[in-house]
Structure 1
Amino acid sequence: MDTSSHIVMGLGLAALAQIDPVVANHSALSQAVMFGTVIGSNSPDFDFIYRMKGKGSYIRNHRAFSHSFLALPLWSIAVSGIIYSFFPASSFLHLFFWTFIAVILHVFFDLFNVHGTQVLLPFSKKWIAFDSLPLVDPIILLVHLLGFFLLSFFQMGKVFFIIYIFIFLYLAVRTLSTVVTKRNVHLQFHNSIRIKLIPRIFLFHWDVIIETKEEYLFGVFSKGRLKVDHSLSKKIDFPELVSDSKRHPVVSDFLSSTHYAYPFVHIRKSGYLIYWKDLRFRTNKFFPNLTIIAVSSDYKIMNCFIGTLHSLKQYKQVIRQLKNTSILKKE
């Protein structure tokens, strides 16, 4: 989920907390809980501080230990402890409880989108993603907005108790449909190694990546049918050059965040450009999440880029910068 969704959910949890009579009958505690749920609902994403060490460090560490099950109580203690210092008359136990719920739900819902989290760290580096929710789910946002509207007419704790029952039922439907769809795709492609479903905004619609020994297949699953519209062969050009690029720190950071990275090599007059692209995020045949390595004709890495490019114009600007910097370094 994105930041705005986590903020909205934090506010929704603050309203739900009014079902707790201790919170509902104590104005200072109600305020403290609201701060606790909103900040707690966003606290695992405070790993943005890794950006200070560069985009690569952030990509490697985002949704890693900050989203692990060991970090959940740490975030909750830190957030509720700081807030309690401003509301000493409130109940720390209740403040901690609702803050903890907010932190847990942040990581829980992140598990259901295409990114997933490394929730099992430090015991396992495996990325866990259930592929059930889009990064921004309009249904979850809309039912929260409906709940906020109804607060003028009904008791807020009861309203959001019903809202969250609906959200969890909605999540169950999306998750079950994802499991069934993945099984159906497996039946059509017995030789598949992995199948990745990228949920769209609408129910029962997915972008699909099918990995076989020979290639990656891309398609759309909708109305019970799979339509394959693109493929990439695993037989790549300049395999040694591609293999050597994996040792570069930026490429290593990029590869640590995805199992669906694919290398493209472009030849240019002064050397090569190696593109590592995340296949999970595709608009037609455009892959916005990537890292690019500029390599000289004598196989020396001259420059690099890591990040997200949203348009062809941005793409061209980055390539131009890489080329110009490479030329300057040679001179």
Structure 2
Amino acid sequence: MIRSDEMDTSSHIIMGLGLAALAHIDPAVANSAALSQAVLFGTVIGSNAPDFDYIYRMKGKGSYIRNHRSTSHSLFALPLWSIAVSGIIYAFLPEASFLHLFLWTFLAVILHVFFDLFNVHGTQVSLPFTKKWIAFDSLPLVDPTILVVHLFGFSLLPFFPMDEVFLTIYLFIFLYLAVRSISTVLVKRNLHLHFQNSIRIKLIPRISLFHWDVIIETKDDFLFGVFAKGSLTIDHSLVKKIAFPDLVSESKKHPLVSDFLSSTQYAYPFVLKRKNGYLVYWKDLRFRTNKFFPILTIIAVSSDHKMNEGFIGTLYSLKQYKQVIKQLKNTAS
């Protein structure tokens, strides 16, 4: 199951538009064309603002992976994004009320980070107090239910007041989120009762309601399966046995591995010995298609244990994987 690494930009734009419609529940917005226009820009831009950390891609994919959903999604960043976005819009629309513009933009920024917390990736929202990733494992990274409900709301706007429509829409969405969250907690509690020797259990929500991919980590192995219709099916296991442990330990000093490990708590190393050296893999176990883990970093190591070039990112096909390996093999000499 290969998934996107984030809720896509179109989803945040749609949610921003929904919040702009909901904002008309505020009489100041409903009675001012200028403020209504400003809030529209504020909620759409604010709904995307935390993902402006995309700029880190200019320093390389590793830098982006390290920094995405970290400082830009932290509690201290939320008001800063809101002030910046509101301030820029207010400079072009000074007749709008800055306070109301700021509050609705702030709500858009907050909801972006809030919904990110409920998917498998999570955020480092508690920075700088802790670097821990917080993820509630309740929503898929892109949830079509939330998108379809928004689109349904837009289709009703010619017939009903937009504030009433989207107040109903958002009440439904939060009810939907509550159902998903409660069911996730109950399933995880149930699995812990059955796997009392587990170190940790990770649920990866699928699009279908009450349907999760599961990772169960024990002292000796990882179990991978699917929980659906009240029962768990284990379809794959991975024994914890690290080949060439010194090489694996040394690989952590490589910038790409360091970036990768900062972004996930479910990375696991694999080493493949080659004629002219080694390939050290660090794979994110949360994302898999059968026995293939597409989100990873690969480091080429020479026969004398010198770290060389590497790859970090997502491999979407076997063809792409072979191309990357071919390039790295040439450097591991």
Give the structure-1-normalised TM-score.
Answer: 0.98
Question: How many residue pairs end up in the alignment?
Answer: 327
Q: Does 1:317 align with 2:298?
A: no
Query: Is 1:121 equivalent to 2:131 in the alignment?
Result: no
The correspondence for 1:110, drawn from 116, 141, 153, is 116
Q: Distance in 2 between matches of 1:321 and 1:247?
A: 21
Q: Measure the CA separation in 2 of the matches of 1:188 and 1:3.
A: 39
C-alpha separation between the residues in 2 aligned to 1:308 and 1:219? 22
Alignment of 1:68 onto 2:74: yes
**Aligned mates of 2:79, 2:242 — CA distance in 1:** 45
SS at match of 1:241: helix
1:178-197 matched pairs, under 5 angstroms: 178-197=184-203
CA deviation map 1:124-176 (0-9, x unaligned): 11100000000110110010000000001000011000000000000000000
Give the Cα separation in 1 of the matches to 2:196 and 2:327.
Answer: 44
* Corresponding residue of 1:238: 244
Q: CA deviation at 1:53?
A: 1.1
**Aligned-residue offset at 1:291:** 0.2
Tell me the distance in 1 between the aligned counterparts of 2:194 and 2:143: 29
Aligned equivalents of 1:135, 1:235: Cα separation in 2: 31
2:293 and 2:274 map into 1 onto residues whose CA distance is 21
Distance across 1 between alignment mates of 2:135 and 2:289? 21
Give the match's secondary structure for 1:6: helix
Alpha-carbon distance between aligned partners in 2 of 1:100 and 1:278, rounded to the nearest angstrom: 33
SS class of match (1:226):
strand
Partners of 1:31 and 1:285 lie apart in 2 by: 50
Indicate which of 295, 301, 307 corresponds to 1:295: 301
Please give the residue correspondences for 1:19-34 in structure 2 after superposition, counting only pairs within 5 Å. Answer: 19-34=25-40
Aligned residue for 1:306, secondary structure, equals strand
SS in 2 for 1:41: helix
CA shift, 1:2, in A, is 2.3
SS of residue in 2 equivalent to 1:124: coil
Q: Distance in 1 between matches of 2:187 and 2:12?
A: 28
Q: Does 2:97 correspond to 1:91?
A: yes
Unaligned runs of 5+ in 1: none
Partner-residue secondary structure (3-state), 2:23: helix
Counterpart of 2:4? Answer: none
1:148 is matched with which residue: 143, 149, 154?
Answer: 154
Work out the CA distance in 2 between the residues paired with 1:313 and 1:43. Answer: 35
Q: Which residue number in structure 2 is paired with residue 215 of structure 1?
A: 221
Aligned residue in 1 for 2:22: 16
215, 219, 230: which one pairs with 1:224? 230
| 1:204 corresponds to | 210
Say which structure, 1 or 2, has more relative contact order (CA 8 Å, 6+ apart).
2
Match of 1:101 in 2: 107
* TM-score scaled by length of structure 2: 0.97
Identical residues among aligned pairs (%): 79
Matches within 5 A, 1:32-51: 32-51=38-57
- Indicate the residue corresponding to 2:256 in structure 1: 250
Quote the residue 2:268 is aligned against. Answer: 262
- Match of 1:122, SS? coil
Whether 2:259 is the aligned partner of 1:283: answer no
Q: CA RMSD in A?
A: 0.8
Q: How much does 1:273 deviate? A: 0.5
Match of 1:81 in 2: 87
SS at match of 1:294: strand
CA distance in 1, matches of 2:297, 2:190: 33
2:290 partner SS: coil
Residue type matched to 1:204 in 2? F
Task: Give the Cα separation in 2 of the matches to 1:158 and 1:317.
Answer: 53
